[in-house]
Chains A and B, each alone.
Chain A
Protein backbone atom coordinates (compact mmCIF):
# COMPACT_ATOMS: atom_id res chain seq x y z
CA UNK A 1 0.00 0.00 0.00
CA UNK A 2 1.34 3.42 -0.92
CA UNK A 3 -0.09 6.71 0.27
CA UNK A 4 -0.82 9.62 -1.99
CA UNK A 5 -0.51 12.95 -0.18
CA UNK A 6 -2.18 16.00 -1.63
CA UNK A 7 -1.34 19.48 -0.45
CA UNK A 8 -4.36 21.66 0.19
CA UNK A 9 -3.45 25.32 0.08
CA UNK A 10 -5.20 27.77 2.41
CA UNK A 11 -4.88 31.53 2.60
CA UNK A 12 -5.90 32.02 6.24
CA UNK A 13 -5.84 30.06 9.49
CA UNK A 14 -9.54 30.41 10.49
CA UNK A 15 -10.51 28.38 7.40
CA UNK A 16 -8.03 25.68 8.39
CA UNK A 17 -9.58 25.54 11.86
CA UNK A 18 -13.10 25.24 10.45
CA UNK A 19 -11.97 22.45 8.10
CA UNK A 20 -10.45 20.51 11.00
CA UNK A 21 -13.47 21.04 13.25
CA UNK A 22 -15.84 20.09 10.41
CA UNK A 23 -14.01 16.82 9.76
CA UNK A 24 -13.01 17.85 6.22
CA UNK A 25 -9.30 17.89 7.03
CA UNK A 26 -7.33 15.37 9.09
CA UNK A 27 -3.81 16.74 8.77
CA UNK A 28 -2.46 20.25 8.43
CA UNK A 29 0.31 22.64 9.27
CA UNK A 30 -0.79 25.44 11.58
CA UNK A 31 0.71 28.02 13.91
CA UNK A 32 1.70 26.43 17.22
CA UNK A 33 -0.41 28.50 19.67
CA UNK A 34 -3.48 27.92 17.48
CA UNK A 35 -2.96 24.15 17.81
CA UNK A 36 -2.83 24.66 21.59
CA UNK A 37 -6.02 26.72 21.48
CA UNK A 38 -7.78 23.91 19.61
CA UNK A 39 -6.62 21.45 22.24
CA UNK A 40 -7.86 23.78 24.98
CA UNK A 41 -11.27 23.72 23.26
CA UNK A 42 -11.16 19.90 23.40
CA UNK A 43 -10.78 19.53 19.63
CA UNK A 44 -9.16 16.07 19.34
CA UNK A 45 -5.89 16.93 17.57
CA UNK A 46 -2.23 16.24 18.29
CA UNK A 47 1.02 17.89 17.30
CA UNK A 48 3.10 15.13 15.68
CA UNK A 49 6.01 17.03 14.10
CA UNK A 50 7.30 20.44 12.99
CA UNK A 51 7.51 21.76 9.44
CA UNK A 52 10.67 23.81 9.92
CA UNK A 53 12.53 25.95 12.44
CA UNK A 54 13.44 29.64 12.24
CA UNK A 55 12.35 31.08 8.87
CA UNK A 56 10.35 34.03 10.23
CA UNK A 57 11.48 37.64 9.96
CA UNK A 58 10.57 41.05 11.39
CA UNK A 59 10.41 43.56 8.54
CA UNK A 60 10.19 47.33 8.79
CA UNK A 61 9.60 50.01 6.19
CA UNK A 62 12.86 50.88 4.54
CA UNK A 63 12.37 54.60 5.12
CA UNK A 64 11.96 54.21 8.90
CA UNK A 65 15.14 54.57 10.97
CA UNK A 66 13.96 51.94 13.49
CA UNK A 67 16.70 49.93 15.20
CA UNK A 68 14.58 48.15 17.80
CA UNK A 69 10.97 47.73 18.89
CA UNK A 70 11.37 50.84 21.05
CA UNK A 71 11.48 52.83 17.81
CA UNK A 72 8.17 51.36 16.69
CA UNK A 73 6.15 52.96 19.50
CA UNK A 74 2.95 54.41 18.04
CA UNK A 75 3.41 52.43 14.83
CA UNK A 76 1.23 49.78 13.17
CA UNK A 77 2.64 46.26 13.30
CA UNK A 78 1.08 43.35 11.35
CA UNK A 79 1.03 39.76 12.61
CA UNK A 80 -0.45 36.65 10.96
CA UNK A 81 -2.75 36.04 13.92
CA UNK A 82 -2.84 36.72 17.64
CA UNK A 83 -2.61 32.91 17.92
CA UNK A 84 0.79 32.96 16.20
CA UNK A 85 4.11 32.41 17.88
CA UNK A 86 5.29 35.54 16.05
CA UNK A 87 2.89 37.59 18.18
CA UNK A 88 3.97 35.90 21.40
CA UNK A 89 7.65 36.42 20.67
CA UNK A 90 7.13 40.08 19.79
CA UNK A 91 5.21 40.59 23.04
CA UNK A 92 8.11 38.99 24.92
CA UNK A 93 10.65 41.18 23.11
CA UNK A 94 8.57 44.29 23.84
CA UNK A 95 8.62 43.38 27.52
CA UNK A 96 12.40 42.89 27.39
CA UNK A 97 12.82 46.30 25.75
CA UNK A 98 10.44 48.09 28.11
CA UNK A 99 7.71 48.70 25.53
CA UNK A 100 4.16 48.50 26.90
CA UNK A 101 1.58 46.31 25.01
CA UNK A 102 -0.54 49.36 24.14
CA UNK A 103 2.38 51.30 22.65
CA UNK A 104 2.38 49.33 19.39
CA UNK A 105 -0.83 48.86 17.40
CA UNK A 106 -1.14 45.26 16.22
CA UNK A 107 -3.26 44.28 13.23
CA UNK A 108 -3.88 40.79 11.88
CA UNK A 109 -3.21 40.38 8.16
CA UNK A 110 -3.05 37.32 5.90
CA UNK A 111 0.70 36.75 5.28
CA UNK A 112 0.50 37.13 1.48
CA UNK A 113 -0.94 40.67 1.93
CA UNK A 114 1.84 41.92 4.20
CA UNK A 115 4.52 42.94 1.65
CA UNK A 116 2.06 45.05 -0.37
CA UNK A 117 0.64 46.63 2.81
CA UNK A 118 4.17 47.63 3.84
CA UNK A 119 4.93 49.02 0.38
CA UNK A 120 1.70 51.08 0.54
CA UNK A 121 2.66 52.38 4.04
CA UNK A 122 -0.60 50.89 5.40
CA UNK A 123 1.58 49.21 8.04
CA UNK A 124 5.01 50.09 9.41
CA UNK A 125 6.35 46.64 10.26
CA UNK A 126 5.40 42.99 10.28
CA UNK A 127 6.55 39.62 11.57
CA UNK A 128 5.81 36.61 9.39
CA UNK A 129 7.07 33.32 8.02
CA UNK A 130 9.01 33.39 4.78
CA UNK A 131 8.80 34.00 1.84
CA UNK A 132 6.61 36.99 2.68
CA UNK A 133 9.44 38.85 4.38
CA UNK A 134 12.03 38.24 1.67
CA UNK A 135 9.55 39.54 -0.88
CA UNK A 136 9.55 43.02 0.70
CA UNK A 137 13.33 42.88 1.00
CA UNK A 138 13.72 42.05 -2.67
CA UNK A 139 11.22 44.62 -3.94
CA UNK A 140 12.98 47.29 -1.88
CA UNK A 141 10.03 48.33 0.33
CA UNK A 142 11.32 46.75 3.54
CA UNK A 143 14.42 45.75 5.46
CA UNK A 144 15.12 43.13 8.09
CA UNK A 145 14.88 44.31 11.69
CA UNK A 146 15.26 40.86 13.26
CA UNK A 147 15.50 37.30 12.05
CA UNK A 148 13.51 34.97 14.32
CA UNK A 149 16.63 32.92 15.00
CA UNK A 150 18.27 36.01 16.54
CA UNK A 151 15.38 36.53 18.97
CA UNK A 152 14.64 32.91 19.77
CA UNK A 153 17.12 30.30 18.41
CA UNK A 154 15.33 27.36 16.75
CA UNK A 155 12.11 29.38 16.61
CA UNK A 156 8.92 27.39 15.95
CA UNK A 157 6.20 28.84 13.77
CA UNK A 158 4.10 26.02 12.29
CA UNK A 159 3.52 22.54 13.63
CA UNK A 160 2.09 19.47 11.93
CA UNK A 161 -1.29 18.68 13.46
CA UNK A 162 -3.33 15.53 12.85
CA UNK A 163 -6.65 14.43 14.23
CA UNK A 164 -6.79 11.69 16.86
CA UNK A 165 -9.24 9.91 14.55
CA UNK A 166 -6.54 9.63 11.88
CA UNK A 167 -4.00 8.42 14.45
CA UNK A 168 -6.46 5.81 15.72
CA UNK A 169 -7.71 4.60 12.35
CA UNK A 170 -4.74 5.09 9.98
CA UNK A 171 -1.52 5.29 12.02
CA UNK A 172 0.52 4.00 9.07
CA UNK A 173 -0.48 7.07 7.03
CA UNK A 174 0.63 9.42 9.81
CA UNK A 175 3.94 7.55 10.04
CA UNK A 176 4.37 7.84 6.27
CA UNK A 177 3.62 11.56 6.37
CA UNK A 178 6.03 12.33 9.21
CA UNK A 179 8.80 10.26 7.63
CA UNK A 180 8.23 12.02 4.29
CA UNK A 181 8.53 15.46 5.90
CA UNK A 182 11.66 14.44 7.80
CA UNK A 183 13.38 12.99 4.73
CA UNK A 184 12.39 15.78 2.34
CA UNK A 185 13.57 18.32 4.94
CA UNK A 186 16.93 16.58 5.10
CA UNK A 187 17.11 16.71 1.29
CA UNK A 188 16.22 20.43 1.29
CA UNK A 189 19.06 21.15 3.71
CA UNK A 190 21.61 19.85 1.22
CA UNK A 191 19.86 20.82 -2.04
CA UNK A 192 18.70 24.37 -1.37
CA UNK A 193 18.62 25.62 -4.95
CA UNK A 194 16.77 22.53 -6.15
CA UNK A 195 14.40 22.79 -3.16
CA UNK A 196 13.54 26.35 -4.22
CA UNK A 197 12.63 25.08 -7.68
CA UNK A 198 10.39 22.35 -6.23
CA UNK A 199 8.72 24.58 -3.62
CA UNK A 200 8.10 27.77 -5.64
CA UNK A 201 4.89 26.53 -7.37
CA UNK A 202 3.39 25.46 -4.02
CA UNK A 203 4.08 28.92 -2.57
CA UNK A 204 2.92 30.51 -5.83
CA UNK A 205 6.02 32.64 -5.68
CA UNK A 206 8.79 33.49 -8.07
CA UNK A 207 11.54 30.89 -7.72
CA UNK A 208 13.99 33.76 -7.18
CA UNK A 209 12.20 34.73 -3.95
CA UNK A 210 12.20 31.18 -2.57
CA UNK A 211 15.85 30.74 -3.58
CA UNK A 212 16.68 33.93 -1.68
CA UNK A 213 14.87 32.62 1.43
CA UNK A 214 16.78 29.34 1.34
CA UNK A 215 20.20 30.88 0.81
CA UNK A 216 20.36 34.46 2.22
CA UNK A 217 21.63 33.55 4.73
CA UNK A 218 21.62 29.74 4.45
CA UNK A 219 20.45 29.36 8.05
CA UNK A 220 17.50 31.72 7.55
CA UNK A 221 15.27 28.63 7.70
CA UNK A 222 16.12 25.15 8.95
CA UNK A 223 14.54 21.78 8.15
CA UNK A 224 16.37 19.84 10.84
CA UNK A 225 15.58 19.27 14.53
CA UNK A 226 11.90 18.94 13.71
CA UNK A 227 10.97 17.00 16.84
CA UNK A 228 8.83 19.26 19.05
CA UNK A 229 10.24 18.97 22.55
CA UNK A 230 8.21 19.53 25.70
CA UNK A 231 10.56 22.42 26.52
CA UNK A 232 9.86 24.12 23.15
CA UNK A 233 6.12 23.81 23.48
CA UNK A 234 6.01 24.61 27.19
CA UNK A 235 7.74 27.92 26.47
CA UNK A 236 5.12 28.81 23.83
CA UNK A 237 2.36 27.59 26.14
CA UNK A 238 3.57 29.73 29.04
CA UNK A 239 3.74 32.85 26.87
CA UNK A 240 0.25 32.08 25.53
CA UNK A 241 -1.09 31.87 29.09
CA UNK A 242 0.67 35.11 30.03
CA UNK A 243 -0.78 37.06 27.09
CA UNK A 244 -4.26 35.58 27.59
CA UNK A 245 -4.26 33.58 24.33
CA UNK A 246 -4.84 30.43 26.39
CA UNK A 247 -7.32 30.60 29.25
CA UNK A 248 -6.20 27.49 31.10
CA UNK A 249 -3.08 25.31 31.19
CA UNK A 250 -2.93 22.22 29.01
CA UNK A 251 -0.76 19.18 29.61
CA UNK A 252 2.00 18.52 27.10
CA UNK A 253 1.07 14.82 27.18
CA UNK A 254 -2.39 15.75 25.83
CA UNK A 255 -0.89 17.91 23.11
CA UNK A 256 2.01 16.02 21.54
CA UNK A 257 2.38 12.55 20.05
CA UNK A 258 5.94 11.69 19.04
CA UNK A 259 5.44 7.99 18.23
CA UNK A 260 5.64 8.58 14.46
CA UNK A 261 9.02 10.35 14.37
CA UNK A 262 11.68 8.20 12.66
CA UNK A 263 14.90 7.41 14.51
CA UNK A 264 17.18 7.60 11.49
CA UNK A 265 16.53 10.28 8.90
CA UNK A 266 18.08 9.94 5.48
CA UNK A 267 17.61 12.43 2.68
CA UNK A 268 14.72 11.68 0.35
CA UNK A 269 15.50 10.78 -3.24
CA UNK A 270 13.89 13.76 -4.99
CA UNK A 271 14.27 14.62 -8.66
CA UNK A 272 13.93 18.41 -8.75
CA UNK A 273 13.41 18.33 -12.52
CA UNK A 274 10.44 15.95 -12.39
CA UNK A 275 7.01 17.49 -12.94
Chain B
Protein backbone atom coordinates (compact mmCIF):
# COMPACT_ATOMS: atom_id res chain seq x y z
CA UNK B 1 0.00 0.00 0.00
CA UNK B 2 1.20 3.55 -0.90
CA UNK B 3 4.36 2.44 -2.59
CA UNK B 4 4.59 5.79 -4.29
CA UNK B 5 5.70 8.66 -2.06
CA UNK B 6 3.36 10.93 -4.03
CA UNK B 7 0.39 8.72 -3.06
CA UNK B 8 1.46 8.85 0.59
CA UNK B 9 1.69 12.63 0.41
CA UNK B 10 -1.76 12.95 -1.14
CA UNK B 11 -3.32 10.54 1.37
CA UNK B 12 -1.61 12.29 4.27
CA UNK B 13 -2.77 15.71 3.10
CA UNK B 14 -6.36 14.51 2.66
CA UNK B 15 -6.31 12.94 6.12
CA UNK B 16 -4.98 16.17 7.64
CA UNK B 17 -7.70 18.20 5.91
CA UNK B 18 -10.36 15.77 7.13
CA UNK B 19 -9.11 15.98 10.73
CA UNK B 20 -8.99 19.79 10.61
CA UNK B 21 -12.51 19.83 9.12
CA UNK B 22 -13.85 17.67 11.94
CA UNK B 23 -12.16 19.86 14.56
CA UNK B 24 -13.47 23.02 12.88
CA UNK B 25 -17.13 22.00 12.58
CA UNK B 26 -17.38 20.01 15.83
CA UNK B 27 -20.07 17.57 14.68
CA UNK B 28 -20.31 16.09 18.21
CA UNK B 29 -22.01 19.32 19.29
CA UNK B 30 -24.88 18.59 16.90
CA UNK B 31 -25.23 14.91 17.71
CA UNK B 32 -24.02 14.81 21.28
CA UNK B 33 -27.53 14.21 22.67
CA UNK B 34 -27.35 10.64 21.42
CA UNK B 35 -24.23 9.97 23.43
CA UNK B 36 -23.36 11.90 26.55
CA UNK B 37 -26.31 13.52 28.32
CA UNK B 38 -24.15 16.48 29.30
CA UNK B 39 -23.49 17.56 25.71
CA UNK B 40 -26.97 18.33 24.39
CA UNK B 41 -27.38 19.99 21.02
CA UNK B 42 -28.18 23.65 21.61
CA UNK B 43 -29.21 26.65 19.63
CA UNK B 44 -28.16 29.98 21.10
CA UNK B 45 -29.78 33.39 20.89
CA UNK B 46 -28.74 36.67 22.45
CA UNK B 47 -31.66 38.82 23.59
CA UNK B 48 -30.98 42.50 24.10
CA UNK B 49 -32.46 44.48 26.95
CA UNK B 50 -32.06 47.73 28.80
CA UNK B 51 -32.34 47.34 32.57
CA UNK B 52 -35.78 48.92 32.85
CA UNK B 53 -38.98 47.00 33.53
| Interchain CB contact under 8 A, B53 and A221 | yes
- Encode A17-31 as 1/0 by CB contact (under 8 A) with B: 001100001111110
A205 to B53, CA, bound (A): 12
| Interchain CB contact under 8 A, A6 and B47 | yes
A161 to B44, CA, bound (A): 17
Chain A residues near B41: list those with CB within 8 A. 1-2
| Interchain CB contact under 8 A, B52 and A6 | no
Interface residues on B, range: 10 to 19
Minimal Cβ-Cβ distance residue in B for A86? B52
A55 to B42, CA, bound (A): 34
| Interchain CB contact under 8 A, B52 and A177 | no
Q: Which of A1, A25, A52, A55 contacts B48 (CB 8 A)?
A: A25
A10 to B49, CA, bound (A): 6
Give the residue among B40, B45, B47, B52 with the most A Cβ atoms within 10 A: B52
| Interchain CB contact under 8 A, B43 and A12 | no
A132: CB under 8 A from chain B? Answer: yes
B35: CB under 8 A from chain A? Answer: no
Chain A residues near B43: list those with CB within 8 A. 1-4, 170, 173
Chain B residues near A112: list those with CB within 8 A. 51
Which of A123-131, A239-247, A263-271 lies at the binding interface? Answer: A123-131
Whether A29 contacts B50 in the complex (CB less than 8 A), given A1-B41, A3-B45, comes out as: yes
Could you list 9 A-B pairs, sorted by A, with CB under 8 Å?
A4-B44, A7-B46, A7-B48, A7-B49, A9-B48, A16-B50, A19-B48, A27-B48, A29-B50
Q: B residues touching A (Cβ–Cβ < 8 Å)?
A: 40-53
Q: A residues touching B (Cβ–Cβ < 8 Å)?
A: 1-13, 16, 19-20, 25-30, 51-52, 55-56, 80, 111-112, 128-132, 157-158, 166, 170, 173, 177, 202-205, 213, 221
15 new A-B pairs (CB below 8 Å) besides A2-B41, A2-B42?
A: A2-B40, A3-B43, A3-B44, A4-B45, A7-B49, A11-B50, A13-B50, A25-B46, A26-B46, A27-B46, A30-B50, A52-B53, A56-B53, A80-B52, A177-B45
